[in-house]
Amino acid sequence: MLSGISNPYRFFLLLTLLLTGIFTGCGKKETSDEIRHTDRLISRLLTLAWNSKEYLATVDSLQNYSVRTENKFGLAKAYSFRGSYFFRAGDYKKALQRFSDAAAIFEEMGNEVEYSDEVEKMGYVQLRLEDRSGAIESFKKTAEMRRALGDSTGLGASLNDIGFVYWQATNYDSAVVYFDKALSIRNELPNIDHRASTLNNLGTVYFNWALFDKALEYYIRALELQKEIKNDYAIAIALCNIGLIYKETSQREEAISNFREGLRYAYAAQDTQIVGYAYYCLGDAFDSTAVDSSFYYFFKSLEAYTIGKAVEGQIICFKGIGLTYLEIKNYSAAENYFRQMLNLAISKNILLRIAEAEKGLGDVNLGIKNYPAAISHTKTALDLANEYNYKSVIRDASKTLSEAYRESGKTADALRELENHLRYKEEIENEEMQKRLSGLKNKFTFQKYEKDLEEQRFENERQKIYLGGAILILLILAVTSLFLLRFNKKLHKINLLLEDKNVLIKGQADELERKNNELQESNDAKDKLFSIIAHDLRSPFQVLTGISTLLREDYYELSTEERLEFIKNMDTTANRTYDLVENLLHLSASRTGKLAINPQVLHPGEIIDNIISLYEIQISNKNLVVKNNIKDDVGVIADKQTFQILIRNLLNNAIKYSLPGGLIFFNACNHNEDGNICLSVEDTGTGMDDELSKSIFNINKIKSRKGTEGEKGTGLGLGLCRELVEKQGGRIWVESKINEGSKFRFTLPSAAGK
């Protein structure tokens, strides 16, 4: 739930009283008495309730007096007050016309402050009229004017409003951009409520994207700020949103706790919509064993939303009730509520809710075994979800569609949709995200475990003391060898038990130490990788910034040759940075399993010729000779994209460590192993020692060396080469000697006979 545009009317009259009397028309010059009378009428309107009998009469008086005295400022304010009346009364078309009339007069007067306020009001009205493109245009125009006026508070509000409209239109990419812009401005301003509102909005967008760890971060920051200023309304929103994250990550008790606390703050705020929202969240939190509780809270929510005339709230209540009826297999009741949800969502053009309603109807028809209808509704939901990237809907609808296809005997289609469901399920339930969300909970669990372990150790020591005392007493009091024998047997048994437990504890400790060492090694490699990335990404941008500053500040003092040299340096730096980013992207894709491998028959000679042509400038700069000795009839089976990445990295490495005038060869090796063909890249460069040769492909032991002409690198390329070759069933190694050059050899499946 966003908190972006909570009450647009409150902003309509914010500056009116301060500006009254400053901008009072053009043309005829008003007398002091006329100005004072106009000011009195405006001040009077600011104190009147919009629905009072005097309000419209006073607006009429202001308009008539302004026309009679030719006071343009007063006339524009009269139009604005009348627009505010129509807005509050729900007559949005008339409100838009009056605000437009007021804006036109202020624009003619050159009063940018009042003009921007009226355009903003037009945006709020357009939003109520479901004209989102018009609202965005109005808010963007307002933002431009406020930026020119230096009004940071107003600019932050306009950017937040734009993000809110994009969010309503489910254009989440654009929404994040504008919310981020608004937050960067509001972070520098003293208004805590505004800052928290934008943080909450960002959290909601990330929640819609199923990035729950990111959403939780923003919601908690918003909650802390709202508690600081004791804003009950916003605290209730933040608590409910946090509860939703816990619910989505299967932490039901934490979710219910947050929802109930949110309901308490909602009643304190005396706001029917947030009360309805908290009730809805509670209804949604209970599982199938407590459907009575779910129905109770859902209908309480629907009642609150109906009183507040909140159509979007009614939509989510229909969804919750429909899902609950679906859970208990009351399909007719479920269909009734899903259809009410669909009709309201279509009337408001809320695409996400339309998709969810269609998915619900698909589930209903699946339950009553009407498989064609189930497929039709679910495919409609999937089309919308795929178009707007509703990941949760895609995940759930794919599962429903798979079951419908399976029951219809369409096995291939069922398998395809099941794979789609599992792919999105895995993405949403990403292991790292789950670790972050449960990290704090695990910390407390571990602390409790340590406390229990310490208590057990104390108890063991006490038992040992008791046992020693018992032994002493038995030794003193023992009168027969039978008693002594029995005691010794008992003691022996206890010792064996303790010995077994000690062995078990030692084994667990050894296993824990081994896992800790593995984790430490992984973290060390990751930290080292990040440090290299941070340095090698920062350095090129420092170079680019420095050169661009010189060109900007000393452009006319520099000669043409100097400028060309600077531009050449910028081009070189940009290309190197691009190569680094490309390697990082491919390395990330390889590590996360997202790098697609599509094996096909390739002719390396042709591909290598094309790649050599891409490096002509670097080759020419070092006066190198590059020869491709691989014949046209040589073929391998490999993925074309990853093969090109492999050759580019190996050629770039050879150029980097070749001396001016050196040689680089591409050869097909003489031997063939296990149906694989061997290819090599050989240079006459600086070479390397045995220690470096053994670790050069290990990405956990990154060592970056400068080239023969000071070229910089990250050490990522060869590690990436190894992963790309091994993923396609080959291997890669290097043969090198100091000052004699290097031979990088790798194998790939041969295409001979295929």
Q: Could you read off the pLDDT of 563-577 as tens digits, one per residue? A: 787 787 777 667 666
Average pLDDT over residues 281-309: 85
Confidence label for 209 from pLDDT (cuts 50, 70 and 90)? confident
CB-CB contact of 744 with 731 (8 Å): no
Q: What is the pLDDT of residues 93-131, one digit of tens each?
A: 999 999 999 999 999 999 999 999 999 999 999 998 889
- What whole-number distance in Å separates Cα of residue 338 and Cα of residue 333? 9
User: 459 to each of 379, 499, 513, how far by Cα in Å?
Assistant: 63, 17, 26
- What whole-number distance in Å separates Cα of residue 30 and Cα of residue 149? 27
- What whole-number distance in Å separates Cα of residue 27 and Cα of residue 12? 27
- What whole-number distance in Å separates Cα of residue 720 and Cα of residue 588? 10
What percent of the chain lies above the pLDDT cut of 90?
44
In sequence order, the 6+-apart residues with CB closer than 8 A to the CB of 567 are 551
Higher pLDDT, 493 or 588: 493
- What whole-number distance in Å separates Cα of residue 389 and Cα of residue 394? 8
DSSP code of 30? Answer: P
pLDDT, position 522: 54
340-375 burial, b for 16+ CB within 10 Å, e for fewer? bbbebbeeeebbbbbbbbbbbbbbbbbeeebbebbb
Confidence label for 659 from pLDDT (cuts 50, 70 and 90)? very high
Going across the sheet that includes 625-628, the strands are 625-628, 663-673, 676-683, 741-749, 732-737
CB-CB contact of 241 with 204 (8 Å): yes
pLDDT, position 555: 77
- Antiparallel, parallel or unpaired: β 599-602 and 625-628: unpaired
- Residue 681 host element (H or E): strand 676-683
CB-based burial label for 582 (10 Å; 0-12, 13-18, 19+): middle
Three-class secondary structure of residue 708 per DSSP: coil
- Residue 194 host element (H or E): helix 192-208
- Residue 635 host element (H or E): none
Q: What is the pLDDT of residues 130-173, one digit of tens each?
A: 899 999 999 999 999 999 999 999 999 999 999 999 998 889 88
Per the listing, tokens 């009269």 go with: 78
pLDDT, position 566: 73
Cα separation of the two ends of the chain: 58
Q: What are phi and psi of 486, to 5 degrees?
A: -60, -40
pLDDT, position 25: 40
CB-based burial label for 133 (10 Å; 0-12, 13-18, 19+): exposed
pLDDT, position 152: 93
Domain with CATH 1.10.287 in the chain: 478-585
pLDDT, position 11: 39
Position 355 pLDDT exceeds 90: yes
- What whole-number distance in Å separates Cα of residue 385 and Cα of residue 206? 16
pLDDT, position 461: 75
Q: Which of 117, 204, 197 is nearest to 166 (CA)?
A: 204
Of the options 3.10.50, 1.10.3430, 1.25.40, 1.10.287, the CATH number for the domain spanning 478-585: 1.10.287
The sign of the CA dihedral 315, 320, 321, 325 is positive
Higher pLDDT, 715 or 231: 231
Q: What is the pLDDT of residues 696-729, one digit of tens each?
A: 887 666 666 788 888 776 677 888 888 889 888 8
Per the listing, tokens 């008693």 go with: 483
In sequence order, the 6+-apart residues with CB closer than 8 A to the CB of 481 are none
The sign of the CA dihedral 31, 34, 40, 41 is negative
- What whole-number distance in Å separates Cα of residue 282 and Cα of residue 261? 11
pLDDT, position 597: 83
Position 183 pLDDT exceeds 60: yes
Mean per-residue pLDDT over the chain, rounded:
83
23-37 burial, b for 16+ CB within 10 Å, e for fewer? bbbeeeebeeebbeb
CB-CB contact of 618 with 728 (8 Å): no
- What is the identity of the amino acid at 719? G
Q: What are phi and psi of 694, to 5 degrees?
A: -75, -25
pLDDT, position 433: 53
Position 642 pLDDT exceeds 80: yes
pLDDT, position 746: 93
Average pLDDT over residues 300-307: 89
pLDDT, position 125: 92
Question: Which of 347-351, 356-360, 376-380, 701-705 is the least confident region?
Answer: 701-705
The sign of the CA dihedral 362, 368, 370, 371 is positive
- Residue 320 host element (H or E): helix 311-327
CATH number of 596-749: 3.30.565.10
Q: What is the pLDDT of residues 244-287, one digit of tens each?
A: 999 888 898 899 999 999 999 999 988 888 898 889 888 888 86
Can you list the alpha helix ranges (DSSP code H) found in 20-111?
32-47, 53-68, 72-89, 92-109
What percent of the chain lies above the pLDDT cut of 70?
83
Q: What is the pLDDT of residues 430-486, one digit of tens each?
A: 644 554 444 344 334 434 444 555 666 677 777 778 777 778 887 888 787 777 777
- Whether pTM > 0.85 for this model: the answer is no
In sequence order, the 6+-apart residues with CB closer than 8 A to the CB of 523 are none
pLDDT, position 647: 92
Q: Which of 44, 52, 110, 56 is nearest to 83 (CA)?
A: 56
CB-CB contact of 668 with 632 (8 Å): no
Question: Which of 211-215, 257-261, 588-592 is the least confident region?
Answer: 588-592
Position 428 pLDDT exceeds 50: yes
Domain with CATH 3.30.565.10 in the chain: 596-749
CB-CB contact of 12 with 122 (8 Å): no
pLDDT, position 268: 92
In sequence order, the 6+-apart residues with CB closer than 8 A to the CB of 633 are none
- What whole-number distance in Å separates Cα of residue 724 and Cα of residue 702? 17
Q: How far is residue 205 CA from its own chain's centroid?
A: 8
Three-class secondary structure of residue 29 per DSSP: coil
SS3 breakdown of the chain: % helix, strand, coil, rounded to 5? 75, 5, 20
Q: What is the pLDDT of residues 3-54, one digit of tens each?
A: 555 444 443 333 333 333 333 344 444 567 878 888 898 998 999 998 888 9
Q: What is the pLDDT of residues 477-532, one digit of tens each?
A: 878 777 777 777 887 888 788 787 778 787 777 777 877 765 665 565 555 555 55
- Residue 555 host element (H or E): none
pLDDT, position 431: 46
Confidence label for 637 from pLDDT (cuts 50, 70 and 90)? very high
Q: How far is residue 150 CA from its own chain's centroid?
A: 31
